[in-house]
Chains A and B, each alone.
Chain A
Amino acid sequence: MSNNSSKQVLLSVIGVAILVVAVVGVSFAFFTYSRTGTSNNKITTGTLVFNFVDGDTITLTDHFPITTAEGVALTGENNVCTFQVEGNTSGNAISYTVYAVTGDAVEGRTTRLKDTEVFVQIKSTDVDGISWTPTAGYAGGKAIGALPLTLGTGSVTATSKATRTFEVRMWVDSSVVSIGETGTYTTTAYSNLYYSMKIKVEANA
């Protein structure tokens, strides 16, 4: 290859390169575009509120066996346990379950009444957005049987805050406990008894 030919080739390459750069440079300058769309694609989290609020407590002292009719009619301070379930949801329904669970020991008392000797009743007035279905028998009063005890279930579908109030009564039922020499307990044994129970609420969605 002669020296002159090499120069011509080099010049051609340089010329093409300059042409390409010029064309590209003109293109960038020739048209530019930039725009942000108006559609705001977004995620916002849902509102889900559930709470269980303690109310009045049952504190029956010097208690003697009573009939089921008397038990479900107990009223007033220390005789009725009250609590509330409150909640709202913007999406999925919240399912909840109310339990009776073993309570604390009572100081000075050594013997716990049997779960079969204590009756319990749960009542609630209907509220929009919070449903409730008591376990069969417990709306009218029934022996606890065994703890933990499912007192009932329900669901929260309210979209704004709703509150449902519950009442629980419990008593020693005279259909299963009698006092006396031939009874369930002697007077001495009976005077040393106690029973305790707490309310537990579980929920999920």
Chain B
Amino acid sequence: MNQNSKNVMLSVIGVAILVVAVIGVSFAFFTYSRTGESNNQITTGTLVFNFEDGNAINITNHFPITTAAGKGLTGTNNVCTFSITGQTVAGKTISYQIYAVPGDTMTGKTRFADGEIFINIKNSAPATGITFTGTSAYTGNNAAAITLTGGKLLLGSGTVTATTSATSRFEVRMWVDDSKVAISDTSTSVTGKTVYTTTNYAKLYYSMKIKVEANA
């Protein structure tokens, strides 16, 4: 029994040695490993787009004015200014849109209807490599009542193709247009206009912010 066990054990060891030897020979037979010299690389591109607020409109004690007067507003607090700075790489165009969106509410005041407020946008200092096409009713020599669609009014759009940093400046004016609003304590109705009493008119406000969206 003891001798049989020894024989079996020796047989197993013998087979194991044979297997290891064969496998060892197989692995040693041929191996190859090489990493190529080519360093395949991706470097990302520089894409810059920034919208910078400037002056804010802060018109107080405002009364309805003509469209011509509104477009002619000047000076601090009367004109909203902002700029767009952009840079991209050749072949990659950045598209952008400029919107007017409702601003902050004022406690204790009643908001004008959007249609009573006129707005105008101008690309006051265009830059090479940044285009702008204003919505026709609101740009250049045109101005019109604010009409929100989906909570915003598209004032214009453009593209950035400048490969070095460029800045384009804009001016926005807004006012209560006298073609839409009348103030009267005696007349309650004027064709095509909203009529406010002096008391009610004194409680009104309007607010708007500029929103810029871009994509590439």
A residues in contact (CB < 8 Å) with B = 48, 50, 52, 54-64, 81, 83, 92, 94, 96, 101, 103-104, 106, 109, 113, 118, 168, 170-172, 179-180, 187-188, 190-205
Given contact pairs A62-B89, A64-B216, A205-B30, A198 touches B42 in the complex (Cβ within 8 A): no
Provide a sorted-by-A list of 24 A–B residue pairs whose CB atoms are within 8 angstroms. Answer: A50-B32, A56-B38, A61-B45, A63-B42, A64-B45, A64-B47, A94-B30, A113-B44, A168-B40, A187-B49, A188-B48, A191-B44, A193-B43, A195-B42, A196-B40, A197-B40, A197-B41, A199-B35, A199-B38, A200-B33, A200-B34, A203-B33, A204-B27, A204-B29
Residues of A within 8 A of B37 (CB): 54, 198
User: Which size class do B's interface residues fall under?
Assistant: 20 to 34
**B44 x A103 contact (CB < 8 A):** no
A62 CA / B45 CA spacing, docked (Å): 3
Neighbour of B42 across the interface among A172, A188, A200, CB < 8 A = A172
Q: Indicate if the CB atoms of A83 and B38 lie closer than 8 Å.
A: yes
CA distance A113 to B40 in the complex (A): 14
A57 to B40, CA, bound (A): 5
Across-interface contacts of A200 in B (CB, < 8 A): 33-36
Q: Once bound together, how far apart are the Cα atoms of A197 and B35, in whole Å?
A: 11
**Contact surface of B with A, Cβ cutoff 8 Å:** 27, 29-49, 89-90, 92, 214-216
Sample of 10 further A-B pairs with CB below 8 A, known A62-B90, A204-B29: A58-B40, A58-B42, A96-B32, A106-B41, A170-B42, A187-B46, A187-B48, A188-B48, A200-B36, A205-B30
Closest B residue to A83 by CB, please name it.
Answer: B36
Closest residue on chain A to residue B41 by CB atoms: A196
Q: A54-B38, A168-B40, A196-B41 are in contact. Are A62 and B31 (CB under 8 A)?
A: no
Residues of A within 8 A of B32 (CB): 50, 52, 96, 201-204
